Structure 1
Amino acid sequence: MVTVRYICPRCDAVVELDRDAYLADKSVTPDPLDGWEYAPAYEVFEDADGVELVCGASETCGEGCGRPFYLSFVRFEGGEEVKPHTGLAEPPRFEFLD
């Protein structure tokens, strides 16, 4: 086990998490990634796609904002890394006036 520190993306508070070193971090985001399953930090999360951290909970160094944020691990399916869905149904279109 190693202790890894993460910074809340909303208030910059530091959160410490004890976890296995083999887990590969993908991102820390204020919102969960589409398709990822998250486990609470106080449960076994090695089989989850990530961890839901609550800023200000017992893992937080000092005070926090009290809002959840998400640590996502790298996922593979069929030997390929899974890319998270961006949430955009179609790319944005721009129209420029002359």
Structure 2
Amino acid sequence: MTVTVRYTCPHCGAVTSVERAADLADRSVTTLAQAGWEYAEPEDDDLEEADGIAFVCGEDGPVTDLEGEPVDGCGRPFYLNFVRFEQGVELEPDPPTYGGPRFDFEG
């Protein structure tokens, strides 16, 4: 089963839509790609095989404002990151590029 899901560009606030499988779990939308993650294009048929979707605001189809009125996108890339699992354990991006700085201290 597929659903249409809307995502807001973190650069300009324009809204883009993509049709994808309903069981994919979203982690985040970021301005930078996660290191080592494989991204599909929004029109790819095998989104389930990717770690997320790479968008270019306004170039991957029509975009709107929050009220649904057509707007021009900013042309900048942004990334939808799916939740990833390995052997049943949820993987964190390494290094994470969302949620602010990361400080690891080994004692």
> Common fold, TM-score beyond 0.5?
yes
Following TM superposition, by how much is the alpha carbon of 1:17 offset from its aligned partner in structure 2, in angstroms? 0.7
Q: Which has the larger radius of gyration?
A: 1
Tell whether the 8 Å contact from 2:34 to 2:96 is kept in structure 1 after alignment.
no
Q: Kindly provide the amino acid, as one letter, of the partner of residue 69 in structure 1.
A: F
Tell whether the 8 Å contact from 1:17 to 1:59 is kept in structure 2 after alignment.
no
TM-score normalised by structure 1 residue count: 0.84
Asked if 1:65 corresponds to 2:74, the answer is yes
Tell whether the 8 Å contact from 1:34 to 1:85 is kept in structure 2 after alignment.
yes
Distance change in 2, residues 1:91/1:31 (3 Å) = same
Q: CA RMSD in A?
A: 2.1
What is the number of equivalent residue pairs in this alignment? 92
- Unpaired segments ≥5 residues, structure 2: 65-70
CA distance in 2, matches of 1:85, 1:5: 26
Identity %: 50
User: Equivalent residue for 1:38?
Assistant: 39
Q: Kindly provide the amino acid, as one letter, of the partner of residue 91 in structure 1.
A: F
